Amino acid sequence: MGPATQTVEMEAAYRATLATNPGSTSAALGLVRLLDGRGDRAGAQQVLHAFVKASGRNASLMAAARQWELWQNSPLPSAQTVRIAVTGSGTLDPLGAHLRVACAQAGLHPFVQVSGFGQWAQDLLSPGSALYAFAPEVIVLPLQAAELFPATLADPDATAAALAQERTDGIARIQALVEAVSQHAPGVTLVINTFALPDRSPFGVLDLKIEAGQRERITALNTDLAALVRDRRQVVLIDQDRVEARFGKARVRDARLWYLGSLPYSEAFLPVLAAEYLRVIRPLKGLVRKCIVLDLDNTLWGGVVGEDGLEGIKLGGNDAPGNAFRDFQLALLALRRRGILLALCSKNNPDDVWDVIENHPHMVLRRADFAAVRINWADKASNITEIARELNLGLDSFVFVDDNPAERAVVTTHLPAVLVLDLPADPAYYTETLLNLDVFESLAVTAEDRARGEMYAQAQARREFTQTNAGDLTSHLEGLGIVVKIEPATAFSIPRIAQLINKTNQFNMTTRRYTEAQVRVMAESEGSRISSVTVSDRFGDFGLTGVAIVHVGADRWLIDSFLLSCRVLGRGVEDALLAHIIEEARTAGASVLQAHFVPTARNAPAQGFYAARGFRSADGQPLDGVEVFEMSPQSCATSTDHLRWLTVTRHDASVTNG
């Protein structure tokens, strides 16, 4: 028997074992090593993902973390990476391991560096530290109150003056850390935990009755900490007390592990804390979902409206399950107000549905809350595909919510990019299941987020106008009355600019992702110019929908990022933005304007944009998948007179075309 035959038989044996026992460590890791050894890294990673999902045991997670550590410096060419530095109180290597696994399960290739024991002050205060040499995007800094505030935490005899001094000194130390990170790594997002209230107080049952009890002391610390970072957009606070309370404070720490090795968290709590950090990392890397597609019968209300009628369905009131369905709708409405779109996809009679939505006294969500609607008898996979096309969103932007397992299976099979929520059988747990998802997080809620539902209502009016005025495209565009405003990034627009950079995939020349802190650094640098584009028309405001990042030199300029929301494509906005950049380069005396294009699986609409507008391909082969184009701004005409349907405002100078 030759080696090739043995390998085939080993693979078959591993797969057979995993088919019956998907959590088998020996079979999973054996298959991972076999596939990786023959060059199938993607296949090996798929096996590891499935193993982690099936097992969940701490030993299995640590084994997976070790495998990801072996792969750390050799990501797949298509992988989206994240660089995380972990430093803080106690021994944090196990937390770093769980962060590797959490990031990998979310589709990120993790680079993780964990500081040595007790090195957090040296790492953050010294610009030459190994932490800064690692060039992290995210620094995770879990600090323990016992290290910074020992009297506050546990000394029942501490005087008010001593407590005040300890709090002042400790908060000042944290402030020094925050300012050091801002100075030495201004593009980094710093994640700090608040201080959790222990499950036992040295004052016993009198803690809330006496002055300056433990709860009052810890609350004062967290109030000062929140005030310290409130206006520092590069700092994110994790509510440690809430995370621990949800998990169960008595299980957060293992005294034996603490005394043996200064491990601040139990094995069971580590994946919970890593998942909480992932709620910050996901929006930083653009891994967020934008739309929830909802079934109706037994999902938004109890019963079948076509059979039970308006009066017969279960919704609202004080009795179950009607009260549970109302609370579920309230949770959905809160997400909508944060900018998450809602859509309906139901096999139903439209008249019955609208009667409930418009007239039921306990209905929370109304017609205006839904950005798209499909109420028909077609299969739901096809309907969701149509909704995605209508909203100009990729399928990986959607979450599907349906009580029917058969409908969920159809969508899972035909639309694997859609996240299908496994609703529990009892609607009492619908809200909890929805809120446990970590795919809707945002580190800033912008004006565009709050107005998104209204914007999609305006989009429907535009579609109706387009259908009525089909024919000559130029006349149609002139009828829209499009106004484009191009201006430099400001403190107010940077959160939305960062959000757009991390969400836009289709008309995005490079899909390079930058955090809000990184955008802020570039905006304040003399070597970069960031332009934002806001668009409106006769039907309303699209909001900030375009971004360009240009790195400038004395003679050579480079368009690093150029992106536009698909909602405003095909109206000449992209040409107006490019003309603005060319004009700025010409005015500054640049002789060469370069532009990068990085082809991805999703930015086909951007393919060929630069070539069609006078850029030529630079000499040489693409480097690391980056195609380079260039032109001479001094010899290029930048008039936008042909875009006569646009009114373009650049900075403070208004130019009307046509």
Query: What are the tens digits of pLDDT across the range 300-359?
Result: 999 999 999 999 999 999 999 999 999 999 999 999 988 899 999 999 999 999 999 999
Sheet containing 341-347: order of strands: 372-376, 341-347, 291-294, 398-401, 419-421
Mean of the per-residue pLDDT values of the chain? 90
Mean pLDDT for 284-288 is 88
Bridge partners of 535?
Answer: 484, 543
Query: H/E/C letters for each residue in 452-509?
Result: HHHHHHHHHHHHHHHHHCCCCHHHHHHHHCEEEEEEECCCCCHHHHHHHHHHCCCCEC
Distances (CA, A) of 572 to 261, 311, 499, 640: 62, 51, 23, 9
Same fold, 74-284 and 447-656: no
Alpha-carbon distance of 82 to 147, in angstroms, equals: 29
pTM over 0.85: no
Of the candidates 397, 422, 342, the one whose C-alpha atom is nearest the C-alpha of residue 374 is: 342
Angle at CA of residue 318, ends 313 and 319, nearest 5°: 55
**Among the listed ranges 155-159, 221-225, 604-608, 652-656, which one has the minimum average pLDDT value?**
652-656
Alpha-carbon distance of 416 to 384, in angstroms, equals: 12
Bridge partners of 420?
Answer: 400
Q: What letter does residue 290 receive in the DSSP assignment? A: -
Q: pLDDT tens digits, residue range 39-96?
A: 999 999 999 999 999 988 899 999 999 999 999 999 998 889 999 999 999 999 999 9
Residue 488 φ/ψ, nearest 5 degrees: -65, 155
More confident residue, 449 or 332: 332
Distances (CA, A) of 529 to 285, 494, 594, 626: 22, 12, 14, 21
Of the candidates 573, 586, 575, 572, the one whose C-alpha atom is nearest the C-alpha of residue 636 is: 586
> 79-93: string of b/e by CB count within 10 Å (b at 16+)?
bbebbbbbbbbbbbe
Work out the widest C-alpha separation in the chain, in whole angstroms: 83
Mean pLDDT for 104-113 is 96
**Tell me, what's the pLDDT at 639?**
59
**Tell me, what's the pLDDT at 315?**
97
Domains of the chain, residue spans: 1-55, 74-284, 291-435, 447-656
The residue to which tokens 């060929």 are assigned:
608
Sheet containing 592-597: order of strands: 616-617, 627-631, 592-597, 556-564, 540-552, 528-537, 482-488, 646-650, 653-656
**Tell me, what's the pLDDT at 463?**
62
**Tell me, what's the pLDDT at 638?**
62
First to last CA, the chain: 79
Query: H/E/C letters for each residue in 317-366?
Result: CCCCCHHHHHHHHHHHHHHHHCCCEEEEEEECCHHHHHHHHHHCCCCCCC
Q: What letter does residue 313 receive in the DSSP assignment? A: S
Distance of CA 295 to the CA centre of its chain: 25
Counting beta carbons within 10 angstroms of the beta carbon of residue 109, is it exposed (0 to 12), middle (13 to 18) or buried (19 or more)?
buried
pLDDT at 652 over 60: no
Distances (CA, A) of 238 to 36, 366, 373: 37, 34, 36
Whether the CB-CB separation of 519 and 530 falls below 8 Å is answered with yes
- For residue 436, what are its two tokens? 């446990």
Q: pLDDT tens digits, residue range 455-496?
A: 666 666 666 555 555 555 566 677 778 888 999 999 889 989
Sheet containing 235-238: order of strands: 108-114, 80-86, 138-141, 189-193, 235-238
Q: Which CATH architecture has domain 447-656?
A: 3-Layer(aba) Sandwich (3.40)
Whether the CB-CB separation of 613 and 575 falls below 8 Å is answered with yes
Residue type, 372: A
Choosing among 1.20.5.510, 3.30.10.20, 3.40.50.1110, 2.102.10.10, the CATH entry for 74-284 is 3.40.50.1110
Q: Which CATH superfamily is domain 291-435 in?
A: HAD superfamily/HAD-like (3.40.50.1000)
